[in-house]
Amino acid sequence: MQCPFCARGIKKHLAKLPGATRVDVELAKNQAIVTFAFGAKVTDAPIQQALRNAGFTAGAIEWRAGKPGEER
């Protein structure tokens, strides 16, 4: 990911994931952060597929738990 246009495409595809409530793409850090609704059932596979659909390959996927109603 090297330009704002790439970041926008990634954000668009990740935002379509079921349960996604927020997507932040940090171009300088070469990462995307997706916040999901509490209780959403999400695995690595749909995230990786969304990134492939955007024309990219996923790196490491890191999961962090939050509290209900809390966003990053």
Cα atoms in the 13 Å half-sphere on the side-chain side of 32: 28
Which range has the worst mean pLDDT, 11-20, 49-58, 61-70? Answer: 61-70
Question: pLDDT averaged over the chain?
Answer: 89
Q: What per-residue confidence (pLDDT) applies to 69? A: 63
Residues 49/17, Cβ–Cβ less than 8 Å: no
- Residues 12-34 have a mean pLDDT of 94
The yes or no reply on domain 4-53 and CATH 3.30.70.100 is yes
- The CA distance from 56 to 29, in Å, is 15
Give domain limits for the chain: 4-53
Structure tokens at 36: 């999901």
Q: What per-residue confidence (pLDDT) applies to 39? A: 87
